[in-house]
Amino acid sequence: MTRATNGYKVNLDRLDIGGDFVQGHRIGYVRVSSFDQNPDRQLEQVIVDRVFTDKASGKDTKRPQLEAMTVFVREGDTVVVHSMDRLARNLDDLRRIVQELTHRGIRIEFVKEGLTFTGEDSPMANLLLSVMGAFAEFERALIRERQREGIALAKERGAYKGRKKSLSLEQAAQLQKRSQAGEKKSQLAREYGISRETLYQYLRVDSDGV
């Protein structure tokens, strides 16, 4: 029996009476690069027992839910991921994660690539992991290159204005004065609706006289 939970299909047959998971369950891992992306789409129509979701960019080394997932899974479980680039930051990272999990007797299933790794150290399995992982890394590099080229062309046309300023000139001036008056920076950041990092950027710009 299955039930849809947060966009995923959860297999209730893998739960015991007390609500704990039994051995051999399917664990989903989802990573979205921003809060605007919908994590439900990655494992849509895939039956899993539990899902761990990180909201972080691919280059971000801090992925707490990935760490929690690797601690949670046990021998006989299957980790289900939409694609290789959702699991790892680069090819070396992909090899490391796959090897660490499969050496513990945990299967890894990649939905997009249609591949499952079980820890069998066959030459074909290692070749597929390297080739598909390298392809995913190459694909990401192409996307970044297209983005850079698009921005360069837009700048030539005068159409690229960069990221919109968070604060107006008047607000930035007020921020500088209030900070110099000794108001707490954390309170100012909350009031103006900006991060601490953005606040310090405004203060640095003002102090440089730009």
Out of 40-44, 68-72, 190-194, 197-201, give the one with best mean pLDDT.
Answer: 68-72
The amino acid present at 146, given as its one-letter code, is: R
Verify whether residue 179 is a known catalytic residue: no
Report the sign of the C-alpha dihedral through residues 182, 187, 188, 194, in that order: positive
H runs (alpha helix) in the chain: 64-72, 84-87, 91-102, 123-157, 169-180, 185-192, 196-207
Closest CA to 78 of 21, 38, 125, 158: 21
Report the sign of the C-alpha dihedral through residues 80, 82, 83, 89, in that order: negative
Across residues 23-34, what is the average pLDDT?
Answer: 84
Q: How many CB atoms lie within 10 A of CB 8?
A: 24
For tokens 């090899």, name the residue. 95
**What tens digit of pLDDT does each residue of 162-173 get?**
555 577 888 888
CA distance 130 to 125: 9
Higher pLDDT, 58 or 131: 131
**What tens digit of pLDDT does each residue of 125-174 get?**
777 777 877 777 767 666 666 677 677 777 777 665 555 557 788 888 88
> Looking at 33, 83, 186, 195, which residue is catalytic?
33
